[in-house]
A and B are shown apart, each in its own frame.
Chain A
């Protein structure tokens, strides 16, 4: 049995990013128990500041390209229809595409690429890369908004910060000096360097949406309804200690220990004392994250051994086990079969453990058993049979808990998936100010949602504009208003992904020939050849 994982959010992530021997991300624990960034402490970082030796090169990501779309309309009449062939977005020259943001998607590239997976290498010969024994799952990844982020610790300019009010990790575009220490330091390789602006960029957790109580775009648009958002209160004073526990297999438990129980009166009192609004504590109480991670214990952190205390947690897939069972003609919903298969299918479980628990298979076992139990327990209900408490007991739960978990995972109602309180310090007095409106990558020429700039993707972005300052009400009005977005489209372009269906923003249609005010021709609506793309 082979465990293969495809990582569709690897886009833009250098090959083998998990190999920290090579990429030097995250923290290491010194013998005296202190944590230092793997890339070296302050002195080493200063010494290497001008030539960071473990910087992924563009080839480690991929060479961006476009197509000579112009041929499609300009080619002279011929026997064959014209085609657009690839052009390097770096040089504008014809190129042969040989690596992309997601080259090995769906096990593309076969054993040759799969055997380079750092986890496959660690598990060695046990992993067989053959048709009969293959399965895979997807692992969408964003910045983890870590509790103990190496990116923040590594920045010599103090441009990276973790917001105290909601834990979102951001790059201050004005303070960023382009040292790129954060790129090396982030073990998840979720900071990108924008060569056009000379600044670091990263996931912003859609903070302008989150501040007004809306879920992030990646969560809201997930057709699988499998992304959850919620508040987790934690004891900030104990993070350092928890991240430094000696055995990396204890990191998962240590992180769970740092999470506070919002139902606990002592926690409530402390929260009030620290000025945390009541609605945040109430939100935390209904948090789907806390439920999945701590109450049901089915969500696990990704690579806790990097010691950054990541905050995007994953429910590992039961599918390898169910698939293997049904392939052999067994009933993949019967509790005993499933439990037996979980015992038998060690390789996928070891693989999952390398991803989520620093190699400790016990927590993964427990998660898979609980998911298996949920299947069997709920099937009985669905078939009109009696509830069987013994199935729940076998995994240390009650039937009622299993039904709650089912509700959260399977019914996954919108308001239970996303429990997002409005911004801290804003709602009460309605007098607060929100830093920035819209996508924070949406500065002039930037790659944000308002347009792609001249050239697709990040390397195109121009100088950042000063952030627009608006009040909370203004933002909420904008996000939810009936009015058209006139004036909000940048440079006469409109990104259809961002269009709310209201009115007819300028740039929606190309200009009329011989006049017209909007000059159209933007990316998003019209894939015309970007500047750098002409041969």
Chain B
């Protein structure tokens, strides 16, 4: 079904799409149309092994026997305009609100001052056995959200429960070693996890990988006595006016195409070593 609906596997659709695209852009798409004709990938092909697909107007990149997919190659090689106000790739965002915020061109914005704004402590050791750190929640290399990472095999291939990655210096500051239980606490919530100490982490920043399983190996916290939360227990959505620009060229909402930036990831937390016994 999906194979029939996607131009990458149903060449007739791709050819039709490219014809229409060519009519709209007035540029030469013959090569793409020609390659698409006659291509048909069915479920049976996929069952026999990995099956290459072809270029399609749903995507921006070209794909063929003599090349691998790379994004925007249709735009570059066939003069298809980018989906922007000018039809080009550009850094300049000509919108009144962007001007007002001084963000019409890319600018460096330091991380939000969570201390000033929300009363969080300052980054760095506090003198107690705790450290204030930037808290990032990246996707892991093993999974899309909770998919794959929480089954028994994958748990065995990692550390068997939720973890927070921390630099060697920060771990020293809280006198915690690799695999010690820690708690991360801020105004939004509490997370209990085991520490992964690594020289791969910069001092002052910790990771807690996205969507680790909340039903596996999450103890009650020392801080509240209640069950520890997940990575998002410490974050909260923050919206600023420029996120609300809509109906204006590339700022127009489209599904899976435009959304606010992930600035709720710009967060800080206190991390301390757990001192009492772990209870579930």
A136 to B202 alpha-carbon distance, docked (Å): 15
Nearest-CB residue, chain B, relative to A221: B50
**B26-34, B108-116, B209-217: which lies at the interface:** B209-217
Assuming A64-B156, A66-B152, is B49 touching A414 (CB within 8 A)?
A: yes
As a 0/1 sequence over residues 82 to 103 of chain A, the CB contacts with chain B under 8 angstroms (1 = contact) are 1111100000000011101111
In the complex, how many angstroms separate the beta carbon of A115 from the nearest chain B beta carbon? 10
Q: Contacting A67 at CB < 8 Å: which of B65, B198, B217?
A: B217
* Interface residue? A247 (CB, 8 A): no
Nearest-CB residue, chain B, relative to A109: B178
A197 to B141 alpha-carbon distance, docked (Å): 35
In the complex, how many angstroms separate the beta carbon of B166 from the nearest chain A beta carbon? 9
A457 to B157 alpha-carbon distance, docked (Å): 12
Nearest-CB residue, chain B, relative to A130: B199
Assuming A86-B161, A110-B178, A480-B48, is B214 touching A81 (CB within 8 A)?
A: yes
A85 to B219 alpha-carbon distance, docked (Å): 8
As a 0/1 sequence over residues 144 to 156 of chain B, the CB contacts with chain A under 8 angstroms (1 = contact) are 0000000111011
B160 adjacent to A100 (CB under 8 Å): yes
Assuming A84-B215, A102-B158, A220-B49, is B203 touching A131 (CB within 8 A)?
A: yes
A456 adjacent to B197 (CB under 8 Å): no
In the complex, how many angstroms separate the beta carbon of A7 from the nearest chain B beta carbon? 12
Chain B neighbourhood of A129, CB < 8 A = 199
A81 to B161 alpha-carbon distance, docked (Å): 16
Assuming A220-B49, A500-B47, is B67 touching A80 (CB within 8 A)?
A: no
A107 adjacent to B156 (CB under 8 Å): no
A81 adjacent to B227 (CB under 8 Å): yes
In the complex, how many angstroms separate the beta carbon of A161 from the nearest chain B beta carbon? 30
A62 to B160 alpha-carbon distance, docked (Å): 12
A114 to B197 alpha-carbon distance, docked (Å): 11
As a 0/1 sequence over residues 164 to 208 of chain B, the CB contacts with chain A under 8 angstroms (1 = contact) are 010110010000011100000000000000001111111100000
| B: number of interface residues (CB 8 Å) | 48
Chain B neighbourhood of A108, CB < 8 A = 159, 165, 178, 196-198
B198 adjacent to A109 (CB under 8 Å): yes
A100 to B156 alpha-carbon distance, docked (Å): 6
B179 adjacent to A98 (CB under 8 Å): yes
| A: number of interface residues (CB 8 Å) | 53
A100 to B217 alpha-carbon distance, docked (Å): 15
Nearest-CB residue, chain A, relative to B151: A527
Chain B neighbourhood of A67, CB < 8 A = 152, 155, 216-217
Chain B neighbourhood of A8, CB < 8 A = 157
Chain B neighbourhood of A83, CB < 8 A = 214-219, 227, 280
Q: Contacting A411 at CB < 8 Å: which of B68, B153, B199?
A: B68
* Interface residue? A65 (CB, 8 A): yes
Nearest-CB residue, chain A, relative to B203: A131
A101 adjacent to B157 (CB under 8 Å): yes
Q: Contacting A80 at CB < 8 Å: which of B44, B65, B227?
A: B227
* Interface residue? A235 (CB, 8 A): no
* Interface residue? B66 (CB, 8 A): yes
* Interface residue? A226 (CB, 8 A): no
Nearest-CB residue, chain B, relative to A72: B215
A109 adjacent to B217 (CB under 8 Å): no
* Interface residue? B52 (CB, 8 A): yes
* Interface residue? A79 (CB, 8 A): yes
* Interface residue? A425 (CB, 8 A): no
* Interface residue? B12 (CB, 8 A): no
* Interface residue? A105 (CB, 8 A): yes
A97 adjacent to B167 (CB under 8 Å): no
* Interface residue? A32 (CB, 8 A): no
Q: Which of B52, B68, B203, B217 has the most CB of A within 10 A?
A: B217
24 contacts across the A-B interface (CB closer than 8 A): A11-B157, A62-B156, A66-B152, A82-B215, A83-B219, A84-B215, A84-B217, A85-B219, A97-B217, A100-B157, A108-B198, A112-B178, A112-B197, A114-B199, A129-B199, A130-B199, A131-B167, A131-B201, A214-B49, A414-B50, A414-B52, A456-B153, A500-B47, A527-B151
Q: Which residues of A contact B (CB under 8 A)?
A: 8, 11, 62, 64-67, 72, 79-86, 96-98, 100-103, 105-114, 129-131, 134, 136, 214, 220, 410-411, 413-414, 456-457, 480, 482, 500-502, 523, 527
Beyond A67-B216, A134-B200, 19 additional pairs, beta carbon < 8 A? A67-B155, A81-B215, A83-B217, A83-B219, A84-B217, A86-B161, A86-B217, A100-B157, A100-B159, A105-B157, A109-B197, A110-B199, A111-B199, A112-B178, A114-B199, A131-B203, A220-B49, A413-B65, A501-B43
